[in-house]
Amino acid sequence: MNQLDALKQFTTVVADTGDFHQIAAYSPRDATTNPSLILKAVQKTEYAPLLRETVQRFGSYGIDEVMNRLLVRFGVEILHHVPGRVSTEVDARLSFDTEATVDRARRLIDLYQGEGVHVDRILIKIAATWEGIQAAARLEREGIHTNLTLLFSFSQAVACGQARVRLISPFVGRIYDWAKKQAGASWDEAAMAGPNDPGVLSVRRIYQYYKKHGIATEVMGASFRNAGQITALAGCDLLTISPDLLAQLAACDAPLTRALDPQAARALDIPFITYDEPAFRLALNDDAMATEKLAEGIRAFIVDTVKLEALMKAA
């Protein structure tokens, strides 16, 4: 049994790509996208027609509607290749606007339903700011399920659990990147690999907290830099993995054992925490890594969204 098949015994495998032609080879249950992945996809010859067709059909409705239609077009295509859900992201420029985030999410769901896609097959991705988490809480009460992304801190995870969001995506690789950069010449790659990886440790802490306290929010590790980070999280609810790393796992037949276990987590002594807005903002501010990476991630998604809009205008 290769490592990908072994991983599927413990964890739901999700494909992290906008390239839906690559998905079928690895039989993931779900798939995730983001502005950067969609931008990468539409610059490929085989996907460029989707961009042109969308602009031709809906360009007169304005750039926001063209973007919504393009995201949904990719999502619908992806759903032809997975039996489960696709995550579609709200414009990162709305990350600090609860009302606008709710409105955009509702519009995306309306478009999916117009294509005959059931609401339960869609996760609306929202940045895990305070405003984004409050938007997600409202959407969940309406039956629209959410995936809180750009999640780097325990405080973000606690607030998402309070909001009863369906799923969170803690970013393993970006936490690793920050820790490695901070350490500089003193970084010991071997010592900080696998279960000692700072990104892995962050996800493990969140997973254990959720399982200990019966929080139903699903934990989906994301943003991996190497296969070792993935195998160290075997047993996490879900892991969203790029096609390159899926291929590495499929090509490796080394033994794989479960690393995260809900029963073991429930036996731990972990205090329950709640946050109001001031306490959340203070806790996030106290976490320099999370504060920096959240802001950086929002900026990066905005840059790629603007690039994607420029391609639309030129189409």
Q: Note the pLDDT tens digit of each residue in 133-166.
A: 999 999 999 999 999 999 999 999 999 999 999 9
Work out the number of other CB atoms within 10 angstroms of the CB of residue 117.
18
The residues annotated with a catalytic role in the active site are 125
Phi, psi at 130, each rounded to 5°: -60, -45
Classified as helix, coil or strand, 218 is strand
Tell me: domain 3-314, CATH 3.20.20.70, correct?
A: yes
Whether the predicted model's global pTM rises above the 0.85 cut: yes
Average pLDDT over residues 52-60: 96
Nearest to 222 by CA among 245, 205, 192: 245
For residue 151, give Cα distances in angstroms to 11, 128, 252: 20, 6, 29
pLDDT of residue 116: 98
Print burial letters for 229-253: b (CB count within 10 Å at least 16), e (below 16). Answer: bbbbbbbbbbbbbbbebbbbbeeee
| DSSP 8-state class, residue 275 | -
Mention every residue, 6+ apart, whose C-beta is less than 8 A from residue 85. 29, 30, 31, 120, 121, 122, 123, 145
pLDDT of residue 20: 86
Sign of CA pseudo-dihedral 274, 276, 280, 283: negative
Say what percent of the chain tops pLDDT 90: 97
Strands (E) across the chain are located at: 12-16, 30-32, 86-89, 122-127, 146-151, 167-170, 218-221, 238-241
Whether residue 60 is predicted with pLDDT greater than 90 in this model: the reply is yes
pLDDT of residue 59: 94
Classified as helix, coil or strand, 169 is strand
Work out the number of other CB atoms within 10 angstroms of the CB of residue 74.
25
Residue ranges of the domains in the chain? 3-314
Pair 115, 79: CB distance under 8 Å: no
Say what percent of the chain tops pLDDT 70: 100
8-55 pLDDT, tens digit per residue, is 999 999 999 988 888 988 999 999 999 899 999 999 999 999 999 999
84-120 pLDDT, tens digit per residue, is 999 999 999 999 999 999 999 999 999 999 999 999 9
Whether residue 64 is predicted with pLDDT greater than 90 in this model: the reply is yes
Average pLDDT over residues 181-191: 98
For the residues of 106-152, what is the DSSP string, one character each?
Answer: HHHHHHHHHTT--GGGEEEEEE-SHHHHHHHHHHHHTT--EEEEEE-
What is the pLDDT confidence band of residue 312, given thresholds at 50, 70 and 90? very high
Cα–chain center distance at 222: 6
Angle between the 48-58 and 63-79 helix axes, to the nearest 10 degrees?
130
CA distance 267 to 187: 33
Nearest to 226 by CA among 176, 186, 293: 176
Would you give the end-to-end CA distance of the chain in angstroms? 46
